[in-house]
Amino acid sequence: MQNLSPGIIGVGSYIPERVVTNDDLKQFVDTNDEWIRTRTGIRERRFARADEYTSDMALAALKKALARAEIDAKKLDYILVATASPDNTFPNTACWVQKGLGLEGVACLDVSTACSGFVYALQLATALVASGQNKCVAVIGAEKLSAITNFQDRGSCILFADGAGAAVVTMTQGRGTIICSNTGALFDYDALAVPAGGCRLPASRETVEKNQHTIAMNGRATYQTAVRKFVEMANEACTRGGIKISDLNIVIPHQANEHIVYSAMDRAGVPRERVILNIDRVGNTSSASIPIAFDEAVGDGRIKRGDYILLMGFGGGLSWGYNLIKW
């Protein structure tokens, strides 16, 4: 019998129904479609309903991933939810997902590394199943960023959106094999942060009036570091995986900004047609962006059995990480 290794046996995603165009954002800030399209690549994004929460989207994405994996939810023994916009501080969002599945006694953990959250969670899931501690792990990236976006800041509110993506990880016979992962963080509070709501700046009338419970971003600083880290990660992943950049069939980067992605991939030597980008329709959904793009590319046949796939995340922290997969 072939050796078992940690792998992804199903992916799924969910994006909310409500389409928000660039022109729609004019009701909040002084902006225009051309500026947003040319600076970011975004044409439209999706926002969740007022009564639709991060855990609802996580659950919808996970149910699709379970169906694709042909696995009953009862087989899950760990739920990891990467999110920067949890339902509550606690119970964590993974607990809400467990409740939604009607399960009990499953380990539930939220991973809060913003846009790199899904790759962090996938690395953890790999270790959990490889060590034998767990058998079947749900890995979800889910966000309701519209709930933590500053709609008075035109430099950031044009980027963010809502959605969820999920993967089911277990020991497999060479199916969706996770070859290697690496994660890390640089400290840069000024680049990206939600300043208030934690113990450093508890909620008060003043924090609400100053919009400090929403995302504060220095776009330029984030842009430059993101490009550098994407190039470093692509090179490191291929070296550690024992392949060449030219062997990569598919690269799925965090959908931060079309220019960040293409500038980094051009420098790394990855042909643009191998890069999955859906930012024009989906916007930046932080930890959900990679699994949503992953699911779409599996669904429409761009990802084929045997492909080398590189997932690369980068975001708040600043945190970064990658997973190299043989599909």
Catalytic site positions: 115, 254, 284
Shortest Å distance, C-beta 214 to ligand COA? 14
Q: CB 84 → ligand COA: shortest distance, Å?
A: 10
Query: Counting contacts by CB under 6 A, is residue 228 touching ligand COA?
Result: no
Task: Give the integer Cα–Cα distance in Å for 191 and 123.
Answer: 25
Q: Pick the binder of ligand COA from 40, 98, 212, 285 (CB under 6 A).
A: 40
257 binds ligand COA, rule: CB under 6 A: yes
What's the rounded Cα separation, in Å, for the pair 272 and 250? 10
Q: Name the segment binding ligand COA (CB under 6 A); options: 12-20, 196-204, 218-226, 243-251.
A: 218-226
Residues numbered 98 to 117 that lie near ligand COA (CB under 6 A) are 115
Phi, psi of 215 (to 5 degrees): -70, 125
The reply on whether position 28 binds ligand COA by CB under 6 A is no
Does residue number 145 form part of the binding site for ligand COA (CB under 6 A)?
Answer: no
Shortest distance (Å) from residue 211 CB to ligand COA: 16
Give CA–CA dist 116/287, Å, rounded: 6
Q: Does 39 bind ligand COA (CB under 6 A)?
A: yes
Query: What are residue 164's DSSP bridge partners?
Result: 14, 142
Nearest CB to ligand COA, comparing residues 183 and 257: 257
DSSP 72: -
Whole-angstrom distance, CA of residue 240 vs CA of residue 230: 15
Piece in contact with ligand COA (CB under 6 A), picked from 181-189, 196-204, 256-264, 304-312 = 256-264
Candidates 34-42, 58-66, 94-102, 104-112; binding stretch for ligand COA (CB under 6 A): 34-42
Rounded Cα–Cα distance for residues 235 and 245 (Å)? 7
CA distance 120 to 82: 8
The CB-of-216 to ligand COA minimum distance in angstroms stands at 11
Say how many CA atoms lie within 13 Å of 201 toward its Cβ.
Answer: 13
Which of 139, 211, 192 minimizes the C-alpha distance to 169? 139
